[in-house]
Amino acid sequence: MAVNERLLAAVIAVVALSLTVTGLVIAATDSNPAGLAKDPLALNGYPPKSADLELSLTTGSGANLSANVEVNFTTGRVDAEVRFPFVITTIALDVRLAGHRLYVRPSDESSGPWLDLTVKPPSLFGIALEMTKPDIYLIKGLSERVTKSGYSTTYRFYKDRVALSKLFSSAKSTSTLGSVRFAITVGSQGEVSAGTITVKSKRSDTTLSVTVLSYNQTAHIAAPAVSNSKPLSGSEIEQLLRSVNFSSLLIPRDLTSLSQSSVS
């Protein structure tokens, strides 16, 4: 019995030592020793196949909108529900991008016809690459501030005395001086999780914010049937935006100047 007891004690000692050593090794190699929740948006270096986004646009003139956006980077298609206030109600539109066609219809007309417009969309594949790990170091000529919180890092850039013009201004020479502020938040592996840009002048301001809700969720986005759509001209879209006061939106007159000139 004494031998068995000594053997049992030896086994317990070996197990205890093994657990202790294992615990020390895990603690020493744990990439998340503080117990922080793992980054839910981590892409492991691979461009996302899809993304779910939340978007909001606010202006000092009261022209606001919000949208839930689903992007399929593989098929090059986008589906969104866009909402904006109109008089005493809220208008909701279904917006879909497939190839070089943009389709729009009221959300409450789920079986109704689509209005479609020929557009030249940006490269969604290129956007997917930038969302994987944006080249923040290429942003030059702006003041910068970096903050960290958990596994997130936020880069804030700003510049004053920037030439601004109205989005729908027909006169190229019409501009005003203002400021531009934008921020990019990335996760533990450098993937984009949020972005905000604010353009402000003495009489107007506009803020566009985008938040990534998830990456790589299933995104089946079908192109509307040709028989269920009819052409919409660009002037009609502009007229709609003007009717809800989006004509006051300000944008930098020369986007390239933001990262090429020195800070005033």
Q: What percent of the chain has pLDDT over 90?
A: 24
**Amino acid 3: pLDDT:** 42
Q: What is the mean pLDDT of the chain?
A: 76
- Domain assignment present for 35: no
My answer on whether 5 and 76 are in the same domain is no
Question: What's 65's domain CATH number?
Answer: 2.50.20
- Please determine, for residue 154, whether its predicted confidence score (pLDDT) is greater than 60: yes
Instruction: Please tell me the predicted confidence (pLDDT) of residue 244.
Output: 54
Residues 53 and 71 sit within 8 Å (Cβ to Cβ): yes
Determine the Cα–Cα distance for residues 74 and 65; give it in Å rounded to an integer: 27
Q: Does some domain include residue 187?
A: yes
Which of helix, strand or coil describes residue 27?
helix
- Tokens 């601004």, residue? 164
Q: Average pLDDT in the 43-52 region?
A: 93
pLDDT score recorded for residue 17? 46
Residue 144 has pLDDT above 70, yes or no: yes
The pLDDT score that the predictor gives to residue 73 is: 93
Count how many Cα atoms sit within 13 Å of the Cα of residue 25 in the half-sphere of its side chain: 6
Q: Are 68 and 15 part of one and the same domain?
A: no
Is residue 264 in some structural domain?
no
What digits encode the pLDDT tens for the residues 100-138? 888 888 888 777 888 888 888 888 888 999 999 988 887
Domain that holds residue 20: 1-30
Question: 240 and 116 in one domain?
Answer: yes
Residues 10 and 131 in one domain: no
Residues 55 and 8 in one domain: no
Largest CA distance in the chain: 100
| Domains of the chain: total | 2
Are 1 and 93 found together in one domain? no
Which DSSP category does 31 fall into?
S
For every residue of 157-188, DSSP letters joined together read EEEEEEEEEETT-S-TT--EEEEEEEEEEE-T
Tell me how far apart the alpha carbons of residues 35 and 31 are, in angstroms, rounded to a whole number.
Answer: 10
